[in-house]
Amino acid sequence: MELTTVWFALIAVLWIGYFALEGFDFGVGMLLPVLARDDRERRVMINTIGPVWDGNEVWLLVAGGATFAAFPEWYATLFSGFYLPLLLILLALIVRGVAFEYRHQRPEATWHGWWDRAIIIGSLVPAVLWGVAFANIVRGVPIDADLEYTGGLLTLLNPVGLLGGLTTLLLFLTHGAVFLALKTDGEIRHRARALALRLGSGTAVVAVAFLLWAQLHTGTGASAVVFALAACGLLAALVALAAGREGWAFTGTFVAIALAVAGLFLGLFPDVMPSSTDAAFSLTTTNAAATPYTLGIMTWVAVLVTPFVIGYQAWSYWIFRQRISVHHIPV
């Protein structure tokens, strides 16, 4: 297998990890005003993701760095063409991270309220814009013969892009609600489970519509199978949740998001950024790749470092696996 294909697959895995892991803490952030009745309950919700949210963002940093090193042409066209949406995502993530660190620094309700709003908005903006961005990558964007993006912001806000944004928004909300049902106890747990069940049917309809479009637009036989399994994973999650099996339900939403992203990459390959202007101008794993020497060095680094990163994050989830409730929060 060529190293360009290997690195395309590795970048796909990094995005799969990012969406499946960061997705639930985006969902938790967006659900703060929906599920919490008072400050102690909001603190419970924030504490469920407190030990892991920053580790989840590492997947995004590594995905960006890997794209820059392995496919510099892809990185250049993507980050220049999608500059404003990606800037908004970056600002939202910065504000959100600051909010997690500063919220508890003062006791005033007004202080908490402002930082809670920052968490909500900082979770909502990326949840929508990542879907818009990926839908446009799969759909294809105007790229000229110099491999430069020639569209504008409104080019990205097309019906397909907006459908992608709605899909990730609903998936992350459902994923977050299921995570809260798994990680909390008491009233929050019951509210989260009920909300996830209510959200689930609408999420399934929207997600299936988007995946069906993706399959018809760029799909292959392999992506069709993966998309079907993703839909089954989401339905299985709702069945498990109705039966009170939150652990299996979270596994189902995790698998559904992971397989949906995997299917998008399977349908995209060997393109990394299709051109809607002319297929000959599309960025591929061949014309967007770095030199074989660079890819070879990166491969050895990935082989040596990746097991430690995954092992540490798995250890973190294991250590903080217990449920929490308002009884654990001092008045």
**To the nearest whole number, what is the mean pLDDT of the chain?**
92
* Structure confidence at residue 330 (pLDDT): 73
- Beta bridge mates, 324: 184
DSSP letter for 284, please.
E
pLDDT (mean) for 116-128? 96
- CA gap 310, 284 in Å, rounded: 29
CA of residue 264 relative to chain centroid, distance: 13
Return phi, psi of residue 225, to 5°: -65, -45
- Express as a percent the part of the chain with pLDDT over 90: 71
pLDDT (mean) for 48-54? 90
Return phi, psi of residue 41, to 5°: -70, -35
Fold of 3-275+282-291: Formate dehydrogenase/DMSO reductase fold (1.20.1630)
CA of residue 30 relative to chain centroid, distance: 14
Tokens of residue 80, six digits: 């220049």
pLDDT tens digits, one per residue of 245-286? 999 999 999 999 999 999 999 999 999 999 999 889 999 999
- For the chain, the structural domain boundaries read 3-275+282-291
Question: What pLDDT band is residue 202 in, cutting at 50, 70 and 90?
Answer: very high
pTM comes to 0.94
Identify which of 27, 45, 17, 14 has the alpha carbon closest to the alpha carbon of residue 171.
27
CB distance 233 to 256 below 8 Å: yes
- CA gap 212, 228 in Å, rounded: 10
Q: Reduced to 3 states, what is the DSSP secondary structure of residue 143?
A: strand
- CA gap 131, 62 in Å, rounded: 19
